Amino acid sequence: MYKTKAYSAASETSGLAADTIARRDPTDHDVKIEILYCGICHSDLHSVRNEWSHMVPTVYPIVPGHEIVGRVTQVGSAVTKYKTGDLAAIGCMVESDGTCPNCQAGFEQFCPNLTLTFNSTDKYLGGVTYGGYSDSIVVNERFVLRVPSNLELSGVAPLLCAGITTYSPLRHWGVTKGKKVGVVGLGGLGHMGVKFAHAFGAQVVVFTTSPDKTEDALRLGADEVVISRNADEMQKQAGSFDFILDTVSAQHDINAYLNLLRLDGNITLVGAPSNPLEVSAFSLIMGRRSLSGSNIGGIAETQEMLDFCGENNITADVEVIPIQKVNEAYERLLKSDVKYRFCIDMASLK
């Protein structure tokens, strides 16, 4: 066991502050990584403020962060895929049983014995796992990803959650050339959804509550932008979408989007508002529409996504901040004032 610097929250109202945490020494299959950058996901904020208490109550102190990029500083004796000095990345998961049908199929994110990067039972040290707002982390090599060498690292970090969470459902639902795709909410996830849907050749429409994001949406790859609070603009899109990806973090009317789907169209929720959304049966019945959800992606698909980003020069648009600004960043995230992902430069923690 060793001590490392981190930022943690002591309660749902305290905000984040400097702390020292314990990490395990690398075991045979572990990789130790010096963290260079960590993205700020809205899930960090939901967890720090215990907004998902009905599903996953937060254990304090919490060290959030699951968009991690860094450099390998030590490897266990049985590690084969990484060596000291390599770039490496960690996303939302750090361990799974490896034997259940979901793990066997490459869907570790649905393993019943999944260990998340933070706020999950830590089977090595007891207590809960601590995430990436920290100097270093120790993770089983199975959950470590390779980073393409041609990409700017601060823009890579958000790919580990915002990237895979949007890439996976777009692939699953067959988004390609000839499909009309909507992305609801232009935040961290949304802006990656736009980049991927555009890269897959689809016709992309962004739905935003922030008119000032219009120009950016077009630059990121949207063909059209709809201000979702304008009923006339919404009505013009009725019945026209094959697929809509909903990334909204707060309460909103999902029926308004279901009505935009064509026959057999699908909306996939990746946004995770704390309270249930109301669904009108008629929004689904008319047009045999479906509503589904998606949770990050498996390890193999995450690597596929990173490689795709390397080949196509795709990274997140980030605002790099020192860790001392993290509480301010959370307040701005709540106001949808992020273009389009905050990313912590972990050198600021030294």
* Interface ranges with Zn ion (CB under 5 A): 41, 43, 161
User: Between residues 119 and 136, which has the closer beta carbon with respect to ligand NAP?
Assistant: 119
**Size of the chain in residues:** 350
CA distances from 323 to 7, 59, 65, 87, 258 (A): 8, 21, 12, 21, 39
Is the sign of the CA dihedral 210, 213, 217, 220 positive or negative?
negative
User: Between residues 167 and 200, which has the closer beta carbon with respect to ligand NAP?
Assistant: 167
Partner interacting with residue 189 (select from ligand NAP, Zn ion, none; CB below 5-8 Å by kind): ligand NAP
In whole angstroms, how close is the CB of 317 to ligand NAP at the nearest point?
Answer: 11
Strand order in the sheet with 261-269: 224-227, 203-208, 180-184, 241-246, 261-269, 290-293
Residues that bind ligand NAP (CB under 6 A): 41-43, 46, 161-162, 165, 185-190, 208-210, 213, 247-250, 252, 270-272, 294-296, 333, 336, 338
Partner interacting with residue 63 (select from ligand NAP, Zn ion, none; CB below 5-8 Å by kind): none
User: Between residues 190 and 221, which has the closer beta carbon with respect to ligand NAP?
Assistant: 190
User: Between residues 20 and 292, which has the closer beta carbon with respect to ligand NAP?
Assistant: 292
Q: What is the DSSP string of 132-190?
A: SSBSEEEEEGGG-B---TTS-HHHHGGGGTHHHHHHHHHHHTT--TT-EEEEE--SHHH
In whole angstroms, how close is the CB of 32 to ligand NAP at the nearest point?
Answer: 26
Neighbour tally for 78: CB within 10 Å: 10
161 neighbors 320 (Cβ within 8 angstroms):
no
Partner interacting with residue 338 (select from Zn ion, ligand NAP, none; CB below 5-8 Å by kind): ligand NAP
User: Between residues 7 and 82, which has the closer beta carbon with respect to ligand NAP?
Assistant: 7
In what helix (H) or strand (E) does residue 311 lie, and over which residues does it extend?
A: helix 299-312
In whole angstroms, how close is the CB of 160 to Zn ion at the nearest point?
Answer: 8
Partner interacting with residue 210 (select from ligand NAP, Zn ion, none; CB below 5-8 Å by kind): ligand NAP
What are 275's two structure tokens?
């309270």
Partner interacting with residue 26 (select from ligand NAP, Zn ion, none; CB below 5-8 Å by kind): none
User: Between residues 50 and 336, which has the closer beta carbon with respect to ligand NAP?
Assistant: 336
Kindly report whether the peptide bond that precedes residue 61 is cis, defined as omega within 30 degrees of 0: yes
Partner interacting with residue 49 (select from Zn ion, ligand NAP, none; CB below 5-8 Å by kind): none
In whole angstroms, how close is the CB of 43 to Zn ion at the nearest point?
Answer: 4
User: Between residues 157 and 338, which has the closer beta carbon with respect to ligand NAP?
Assistant: 338
In whole angstroms, how close is the CB of 128 to ligand NAP at the nearest point?
Answer: 18
Partner interacting with residue 185 (select from Zn ion, ligand NAP, none; CB below 5-8 Å by kind): ligand NAP
The Cα–Cα gap between 294 and 285 comes to 22
In whole angstroms, how close is the CB of 324 to Zn ion at the nearest point?
Answer: 22
The region, left, alpha or beta by phi > 0 then psi within -120 to 50, assigned to residue 64 is beta
In whole angstroms, how close is the CB of 42 to ligand NAP at the nearest point?
Answer: 3
User: Between residues 66 and 179, which has the closer beta carbon with respect to ligand NAP?
Assistant: 66
In whole angstroms, how close is the CB of 45 to Zn ion at the nearest point?
Answer: 10
CA distances from 339 to 114, 124, 126, 279, 319 (A): 31, 38, 37, 30, 7
219-222 long-range contacts, Cβ below 8 Å, gap at least 24? 220/186, 220/191, 220/194, 220/195, 220/317, 220/340, 221/194, 221/195, 221/197, 222/183, 222/194, 222/198
Residue nearest to ligand NAP (CB): 187
In whole angstroms, how close is the CB of 35 to Zn ion at the nearest point?
Answer: 16
The Cα–Cα gap between 209 and 22 comes to 42
User: Between residues 26 and 182, which has the closer beta carbon with respect to ligand NAP?
Assistant: 182
